[in-house]
C-alpha cells in the first residue's frame, strides 16, 4: 500500500467525460489499496476567462480580489470530481485551499506556501476517503484567498506530497511526459524516461510550462518522487530524479523557449564606475527582475551601450523608471517585445566542450542573428527575433541529436 498524490491539469478535466475518465484513474489506484489525495486544476480555459474578466473590469485591480476570482475554477472541478467519484462508489470529499489549509504569504497572485495542515487529510486518507483538493489556492495571515501564480496546481500537488510524505506524486497532463522540447512545436521531440531535478528546474524556468518552476524546486528540496504522465494513455511518463539515477547522460537533454521576454537597450550611457550598479539597483528596488545582460564600450571608452531583458509584464514599468531617473544618463532608450529566449539545457555540459559553439553555428547556418547570450553551468540561452522561434528550436533539436522517429 502506498500513499500517492495525483494531480490533474486543465485539459485532463476539461469536460464531464474527462472528469469521469479521471475518476476511473483514481478508482484504479484506490482499488489497489492505496491512500489517494487528488489535486485538481480548473477546467481548461476557465482561469484564462476569469482573469480576463478581472483585467477588463480594471487593469489596476486589487490583487486580493483577483485571487478570489481566479481561484474559483478549481472549486468547481474539486466538487465535480468528488461527485464523479461518489457516483462510481468511491468515498470522496472535496477541500478548498483554505480548508486544508494551505497557509501562504500575502503575495496574493503569486503566493508562496509556508505551511500545510495535514492532520485532517491524513486521518481521512487512513480511513479510506479519497481527498480531492483544489489546486492553485491558499489562504494568507490576513484571512484572504491567495493563488500560487499561473500553473500553480503543480506546486500545490508537490507541496502536499511533501507534507503528506507521499510515496509518489503523479502529475497527469495532456502530453506523455517531459520531452526533449515542446512536442507541440517539434513533432520529432522525444519523451525522456528520466530527467534530473536540476535540468527540470532549468527547463521550467526557461519556458517549458509542463511543470511550474516552483513545483520543481520544492520537489528537489523535499526529494518528492515526481512523475509527469498523460491522463489519456496508459504509458509510463517521465520521472524527475537525482543525477546519480541517470546512467546515460546526454550532453544536451532539452531545449526550451520563452516568449515573454522583452529587450531594453540604453544607448550612449556615460561610462563611469558604478553605472551598472546604479542602473540595476534602480530596477531591483522596484522588484523588476533583469535576466540577460550585455554591455559594449565605444571605442574611446567614454560611452557604453547596455542591453538587458525583463519580462514583458515589467517592460512598461522599467521604461518609466529609466525615463524618469536622473541618476542614469543616456542618449537613447529602445525596447523590443518581439524577441524570444531559446535555451539548451543539460548536466552533461559540465564535462563537454563545444556545446555553445554548436548552438551559434546552427543558428548562423539558418541566418538567425543572436542579440544577447547568457550561460550557466548547465545551460546556454540566446535572445533572437521571435519570428525564428520554431526554426531555431527545430534546427537545434536536430543539431544536438535529439530528433526521434516521426
Ligand atoms: P496542465 O494543464 O496539465 O498543467 P500545461 O499546459 O500547463 O498542462 O503543460 C503541458 C504543456 O506543456 C504541453 O501541452 C506542452 O505543450 C507544454 N510543454 C512545453 N515544453 C514541454 C516539454 N519539454 N515537454 C512536455 N511538454 C512541454
Ligand atoms: N488553473 C490555474 C492556471 O490555469 C492553475 C493550474 O492550472 O495549474 O494557471
Ligand atoms: Mg500546468
pLDDT value for 249? 76
- Report the nearest atom of ligand 1 relative to the CA of 177: 25
Of the pLDDT bands very low, low, confident and very high (cuts 50, 70, 90), residue 282 is very high
Residue 350 lies in a domain: no
Torsion of CA 212, 217, 218, 219, to 10 degrees: 90
Domain carrying residue 91: 3-174
- DSSP code at position 175: S
Q: How far away, in angstroms, is 103 Cα from ligand 3 center?
A: 21
pLDDT value for 102? 98
> pLDDT above 90 covers what percent of the chain?
90
Residues with CB under 5 A from ligand 3 (ion): 9, 151
125: domain CATH number is: 3.40.1160.10
Number of domains in the chain: 1
> pLDDT digits over 75-129, tens only?
999 999 999 999 999 999 999 999 999 999 999 889 999 999 999 999 999 999 9
Of the pLDDT bands very low, low, confident and very high (cuts 50, 70, 90), residue 227 is very high
> pLDDT digits over 21-75, tens only?
999 999 999 999 999 999 999 999 999 999 999 999 998 899 999 999 999 999 9
Three cell numbers written together for 384:
533572437
pLDDT value for 248? 77
Three cell numbers written together for 315:
517592460
Which residue carries 545551460 as its cell? 379
Edge-to-edge strands, sheet with 168-173: 92-95, 130-134, 35-40, 3-8, 168-173, 226-230, 238-241, 194-196
Residue 103 lies in a domain: yes
The least confident of 11-20, 118-127, 210-219, 320-329 is 320-329
Residue 75 lies in a domain: yes
Residue 73 lies in a domain: yes
Residue 328 lies in a domain: no
- Which ligand is nearest the CA of 153, by number? 2
Residue 70 lies in a domain: yes
Q: How far away, in angstroms, is 228 Cα from ligand 1 center?
A: 10
Q: What average pLDDT is seen over the chain?
A: 96
Three cell numbers written together for 87:
457516483
Ligand 2 and 10: CB distance under 6 A = yes
Residue 315 lies in a domain: no
Task: Say which residue, 299 or 166, is predicted with more confidence.
Answer: 166
Considering only CA atoms, which residue is closest to atom 5 of ligand 1? Answer: 210
pLDDT value for 263? 97
Residue 301 lies in a domain: no
Amino acid at each position: 500500500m502506498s500513499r500517492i498524490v495525483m494531480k490533474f491539469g486543465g485539459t485532463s478535466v476539461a469536460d464531464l467525460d474527462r472528469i469521469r475518465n479521471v475518476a476511473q484513474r483514481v478508482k484504479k489506484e484506490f482499488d489497489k489499496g492505496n491512500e489517494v489525495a487528488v489535486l485538481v486544476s480548473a477546467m481548461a480555459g476557465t482561469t484564462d476567462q476569469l482573469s480576463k474578466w478581472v483585467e477588463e473590469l480594471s487593469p489596476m485591480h486589487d490583487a486580493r480580489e483577483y485571487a478570489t476570482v481566479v481561484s474559483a475554477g478549481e472549486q468547481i472541478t474539486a466538487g465535480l470530481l468528488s461527485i464523479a467519484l461518489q457516483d462510481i462508489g468511491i468515498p470522496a470529499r472535496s477541500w478548498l485551499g483554505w480548508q486544508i489549509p494551505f497557509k501562504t504569504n500575502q503575495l496574493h497572485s503569486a503566493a508562496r506556501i509556508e505551511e500545510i495542515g495535514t492532520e485532517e487529510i491524513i486521518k481521512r486518507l487512513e480511513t479510506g476517503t479519497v481527498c480531492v483538493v483544489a489546486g492553485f489556492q491558499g489562504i494568507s495571515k490576513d484571512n484572504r484567498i491567495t493563488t500560487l501564480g499561473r500553473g500553480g496546481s503543480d506546486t500545490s500537488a508537490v507541496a502536499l506530497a511533501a507534507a503528506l510524505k507521499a510515496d509518489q506524486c503523479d502529475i497527469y497532463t495532456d502530453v506523455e511526459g517531459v520531452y526533449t522540447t515542446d512536442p507541440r512545436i517539434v513533432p520529432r521531440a522525444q519523451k525522456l524516461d528520466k530527467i534530473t531535478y536540476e535540468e527540470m528546474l532549468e527547463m521550467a524556468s526557461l519556458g517549458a510550462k509542463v511543470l511550474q518552476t516552483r513545483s520543481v524546486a520544492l520537489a528537489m528540496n523535499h526529494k518528492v518522487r515526481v512523475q509527469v504522465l498523460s491522463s489519456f494513455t496508459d504509458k509510463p511518463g517521465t520521472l524527475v530524479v537525482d543525477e546519480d539515477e541517470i546512467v546515460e547522460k546526454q550532453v544536451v537533454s532539452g531545449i526550451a523557449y520563452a516568449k515573454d521576454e522583452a529587450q531594453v537597450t540604453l544607448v550612449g550611457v556615460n561610462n563611469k564606475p558604478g553605472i551598472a550598479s546604479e542602473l540595476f539597483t534602480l530596477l531591483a528596488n522596484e522588484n523588476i527582475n533583469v535576466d540577460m545582460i550585455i554591455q559594449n564600450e565605444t571605442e574611446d571608452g567614454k560611452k557604453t551601450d547596455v542591453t538587458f531583458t525583463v519580462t514583458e509584464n515589467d517592460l512598461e514599468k522599467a521604461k518609466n523608471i529609466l525615463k524618469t531617473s536622473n541618476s542614469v544618463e543616456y542618449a537613447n532608450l529602445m525596447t523590443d517585445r518581439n524577441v524570444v529566449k531559446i535555451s539548451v539545457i543539460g548536466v552533461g555540459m559540465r564535462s563537454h566542450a563545444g556545446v555553445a559553439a554548436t548552438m551559434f553555428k546552427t543558428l548562423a547556418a539558418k541566418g538567425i542573428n543572436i542579440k544577447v547570450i547568457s550561460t550557466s553551468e548547465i545551460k546556454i540561452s540566446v535572445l533572437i527575433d521571435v519570428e525564428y522561434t520554431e526554426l531555431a528550436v527545430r534546427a537545434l533539436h536536430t543539431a544536438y541529436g535529439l530528433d526521434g522517429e516521426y
